[in-house]
Amino acid sequence: MVLGIFTVILVGGVYYSNKFLPVAPKKFIFPDHLVFKWLQDNVKLNRFYGGGTAHIDFNFPTHYKVYGAEGYDSLRLERYAQLLASSFTGSVPQSYPRSDGVFPNEENGRRKRLFEILGVSHLLDKEDNPRTGADWHFERFTGDDVQGIYQLGKFQFYKREPVLPRIFLTTQYTVLKNDEEIIQKIYDPNFDLKTLILEKEPKLAISDFAGDIASPEAVIYEPSVVTIKTNKEYNSLLYLSDTHDPDWNVYIDNQKSELLRAHYAMRAVAVPAGSHLVIFKYQPKSFVIGRQTSAVTLASLAILSLYLIRKRQF
């Protein structure tokens, strides 16, 4: 009886939700557009940023499977929002009212430093009165080295040079434990951001081999799973410019390893020499607890229903 009531409530809820709360077709909310097609084909795993009238709303990149630099509206993580908020004044403010992580509209010397950390390779701008098909506005990116590469009607695409890749291997790092010191080091123009800023020493010994960084192969890149293939002749640090969170776990050849926080809010892991498969998995504890609670509840309802049925029979 209890199970029957539960089933009726569930089916009725779904039915009336669809009847009285219709959802508009996806194509009316996320229409096909040549801007997103160009970003998909050319930016790939790197990030882009659109400022001013070329700003793309926070929730759109996720649907189109392109990678913006500002996060997904209110789902942004605290330290990532702090890092972006620090680009306005050079330090983390006491409060920032919006949930969205945003950058300054104009280049101030700090914005481009964060673009480096995040792997922002392309900038999107807009010319509301296009005339020549190459109406570049380099003055809007003062202090940043950009090249105009394509104009699509009013929309203009610029490429930043040079730019750090989203994923790279390095042996160069420094350890800073104070948040304010980390922020100041990030914005120090004399500090090379290829040198990772960690908050503790990795458990694996890393010898400094001065040289260029290496870009490993990203085998899988999905919202909750990232798989990277590495092959270096010495121990190194793998940097992934995605937000660090305790619910992310990292595995090297299926063995759990220590997830490090780099550049204030990003992910890193120490990888041994040789060929390895590194897997980052998002495994939130809240989901595990919810799944276990639901399983126990359903089992209890089933047992209670069987008990009531047997009791009525005898």
> pLDDT (tens digit, 9 = 90+) per residue, 128-174?
899 888 999 998 888 889 999 999 999 999 999 888 999 999 999 99
Q: Are 38 and 48 spatial neighbours (Cβ–Cβ below 8 Å)?
A: no
pTM over 0.75: yes
Q: What is the mean pLDDT of residues 123-132?
A: 92
Is residue 25 packed enough to be buried (19+ CB in 10 Å), middle (13-18) or exposed (0-12)?
exposed
Residue 12 has pLDDT above 80, yes or no: no
CB-based contacts of 168: which residues, under 8 Å, 6+ apart? 194, 213, 214, 215, 216, 238, 239
Angle, alpha carbons 145-149-151 (nearest 5°): 125
Q: What is the mean pLDDT of residues 261-290?
A: 93
Q: What are 75-91's pLDDT values in tens digits?
A: 668 899 899 999 999 99
3-state secondary structure of 196: strand
* CA pair distance 233, 32, nearest whole angstrom: 45
Q: H helices within 123-242, ranges in order? A: 179-186
- 4 or 276, greater pLDDT: 276
